[in-house]
Amino acid sequence: MKLKHRVNILIFYILRIFPVQKNKIVVSNFGGRGYGCNCRYITDEILKRDANNSLDIVWLTEGNVDNLPQRLRKVPYDSFRAMYELATAHVWIDNIRKPPFVRKRKNQFYVMTWHAGIGFKKSEKDSIQSLRKSYIYAAKNDSKMADLFLADSDWHYNVYRNAFWYEHEIAKCGLPRMDVIFRDDPLLKKNIREKLGIPDNVKCVMYAPTFRAQNDESSIGVYNLDWDKVINALQSKTGDTWIGLLRLHPNASHLCERLNIPSNVRDMTSYPDMQELLLISDCFITDYSSAIFDYSVKGKMAFMFALDLEDYIKDRDLYFAFSELPYSFSKSSDELAENIRLFSEKEYAIKIDEFFHKRCGLYEGGHASEYVADRIMKVIES
């Protein structure tokens, strides 16, 4: 164990001289990367219940977060102050593993929302051969501390039980970030499009590839998409005008400036909330990102496209065979364009229903944020 790690553990124990503050909640999203994912939607619901502003809600952040509500108190993620806030908060909310030196106290409550539901890539214990020993240690420590995990389906529940070193409560409530997808609020969609300057008569296709183990400039090629072919195919299929939205995974965001992005495609990699982009998109394309499940659960048109399938499977085993999935898979831009032209909405709807409800046992209903916020308020008021 490294000296810095030992020192940080010691700091957490020393900080126990300060009492836990019953009204304090500390939230962290992707290690400080913006106001989004499950953490955002739980926090939004908690704020609705806190009419008297009696709660001290701390948001751990790596830098400026443009869409952070003023009611929240910003604290740098990797700081001594953050350690103090964690040591004295009544409730923690997170969507990735906490650093391995973090130590929870008995009278604290930890909601681990995770950042994916139904997914392609095997994770945690199921992909243990690809994990660093330091990560495995952190994951086990994090699961030991957690009081509540959130599942979106029977499939998801079983993955938690089998692969996350976790033995405590799992709420079969759905994922808070999915509430906005299920509610499908026309006014919210209009407001987001206006904020981004997208005209009402223009449709959006989002391309959101995930990251690779070789996450440097040598992997640039796998993120390339022939936007002209895709947009032309969509326009031919629908008769509408289309623009593209590019969203790289946070772990690959540094590669954006190296990609050739056409003028009719917008780089949305730094946009803080993926769910808002999913909500306004009319078509979704990915390689192996679980975001396709978030996007398509209501039956919206989605496609899979990747240039490196064999290499990717060697590096990262998948939970599903592609034959089980409701999406066509393309290994070239020409094949993708052809699959767009051949897309059958009726056949797709049947496949979507079979996959989510019969194969996975979906729990989603648009009320997960309310469920989790109610649980947290009960903990605070107890």
DSSP 70: T
Question: Using 50, 70 and 90 to split pLDDT, how confident is the model at 216?
Answer: low
User: Are 15 and 154 within one domain?
Assistant: yes
User: Are 50 and 77 within one domain?
Assistant: yes
User: Are 15 and 146 within one domain?
Assistant: yes
User: Are 248 and 147 within one domain?
Assistant: no
pLDDT of residue 326: 98
pLDDT of residue 257: 74
Distance (Å, whole) CA 94 – CA 343: 38
User: Are 155 and 221 within one domain?
Assistant: no
Please give the tally of structural domains in the chain: 2
Supply the CATH number for residue 299's domain: 3.40.50.12580
pLDDT of residue 224: 85
pLDDT tens digit sequence for 287-300? 989 999 999 999 99
User: Are 308 and 371 within one domain?
Assistant: no
User: Are 36 and 170 within one domain?
Assistant: yes
The number of angstroms, rounded, from the C-alpha of 331 to the middle of its chain's C-alpha atoms is 25
pLDDT above 80: residue 238: yes
User: Are 170 and 219 within one domain?
Assistant: no
User: Are 137 and 21 within one domain?
Assistant: yes
pLDDT tens digit sequence for 185-204? 999 999 999 999 999 999 99
pLDDT tens digit sequence for 308-353? 877 777 777 889 988 899 999 999 999 999 999 999 999 999 999 9
User: Are 321 and 220 within one domain?
Assistant: yes
Report the share of the chain in percent with pLDDT over 90. 82
Mean pLDDT of 263-270: 93
Global confidence as pTM: 0.92
pLDDT tens digit sequence for 132-160? 999 999 999 999 999 999 999 999 999 99
Tell me the residue range of the domain where 203 lies. 184-359
User: Are 153 and 251 within one domain?
Assistant: no
User: Are 171 and 250 within one domain?
Assistant: no
Supply the CATH number for residue 57's domain: 3.40.50.11820
**By the 8 A CB rule, do 237 and 340 touch?**
yes
pLDDT: which is higher, 330 or 130: 330
